[in-house]
Amino acid sequence: MERPAHDRGGRPTDEPIDRTEHELADWQLLTDALVGALIRRGAMNVDELRHGIESMPPEDYERASYYERWLFSVETTLTEKGILAPGELNEAAARGV
Amino acid sequence: MAFDVGQRVRVAEREHAGHHRTPGYVKGKRGVVVRPHGAFRNPETRAYGGDGLPERRLYLVALEQDDLWPAYPGPPEDRLYVDVFEHWLVEDS
């Protein structure tokens, strides 16, 4: 069976490893805090977070950054659980909430 | 099943389409149990809204680097340490 996009360990690559430290943007810090709060409140758990990330279409997974994958998973997981209505976040974003 | 420290094991090579915490590159590889971590809820069911019970034992396992990588250039005693759940380990004679 072909390994899925997220199962990356041990894959050969010629690309150098970026070892530089990088500052996190505000939205990335907020995403981390949001997921921490959702887990502490019992709305979701870390295994559901990972499963949601692993269910991303491979091309979206490859394009997305680390915290973009978290956000994708939060939205799909909370929608599957009925905590968010389908499209609710998009509507809120369009209203500028 | 329970494993003893020092016991030779192999990581199961079976396919598993759903969420699991065993990386593909260690499947089928041989190693030695280094340390038990205790028992934890199973991520394979917790990822789908389950309670993760029964808990599964988790072990730190040492794999031989030259078994993992073709033409590994380092010393033969080099090991890679990875956490593996008991149901992903099999006895290795």
Which CATH number covers residue A68?
1.10.472.20
Average pLDDT, chain A: 94
pLDDT in tens, B9-59: 999 999 898 999 999 999 999 999 999 999 999 999 999 999 999 999 999
A45/B46 touch (CB, cutoff 8 Å), yes or no: yes
Q: Domain B8-91, what fold?
A: SH3 type barrels. (2.30.30)
Q: ipTM score of the complex?
A: 0.89
The SS3 of residue A72 is: helix
CB pairs under 8 A between A and B: 34
Q: Peptide bond preceding A4: is omega within 30 degrees of 0, i.e. cis?
A: no
Query: Cα(A35)–Cα(A25) distance, rounded to whole angstroms?
Result: 16
What is the model's pLDDT at position A80? 96
A1 pLDDT higher than 70: no
**A10 and B CB contact within 8 Å:** yes
B18/A51 touch (CB, cutoff 8 Å), yes or no: yes
What is the model's pLDDT at position A20? 94
Q: Which residue type sits at A83? A: I
- Is the residue at A4 inside a domain? no
- Is the residue at A5 inside a domain? no
- Is the residue at A86 inside a domain? yes
Q: Which residue type sits at B2? A: A
A81/B46 touch (CB, cutoff 8 Å), yes or no: no
**pLDDT confidence band for A38 (50 / 70 / 90):** very high
- How is residue A9 written in tokens? 């360990």
- Is the residue at A53 inside a domain? yes
A2 pLDDT higher than 80: no
Give the least confident one: A60-64, B23-27, B64-68, B83-87: B64-68
Per the structure, the count of domains in chain A is: 1
- List strands edge to edge, sheet with B79-85: B79-85, B56-64, B30-40, B8-11, B89-91
- Is the residue at A9 inside a domain? no
Query: Cα(A10)–Cα(B65) distance, rounded to whole angstroms?
Result: 11
Q: How much of chain B is in helix, strand and coil states, percent to nearest 5?
A: 15, 35, 50
Query: Furthest-apart CA pair in chain A: how many Å?
Result: 45
Distance from CA of B23 to the nearest CA of A (A): 6
A43 pLDDT higher than 90: yes
A57 pLDDT higher than 70: yes
Residue in this structure with the two tokens 């199973």, named with its chain if needed: B42
Residues contacting residue A3 through CB under 8 Å, at least 6 positions apart: B24
Rg (CA), chain B: 14
A26-32 mean pLDDT? 98
Residue in this structure with the two tokens 């968010």, named with its chain if needed: A84
Test the B interface: residue of A1, A47, A77 with most B CBs within 10 Å = A47
**pLDDT confidence band for A3 (50 / 70 / 90):** confident
What is the model's pLDDT at position B26? 96
Residues contacting residue A83 through CB under 8 Å, at least 6 positions apart: A43
B23/A45 touch (CB, cutoff 8 Å), yes or no: no
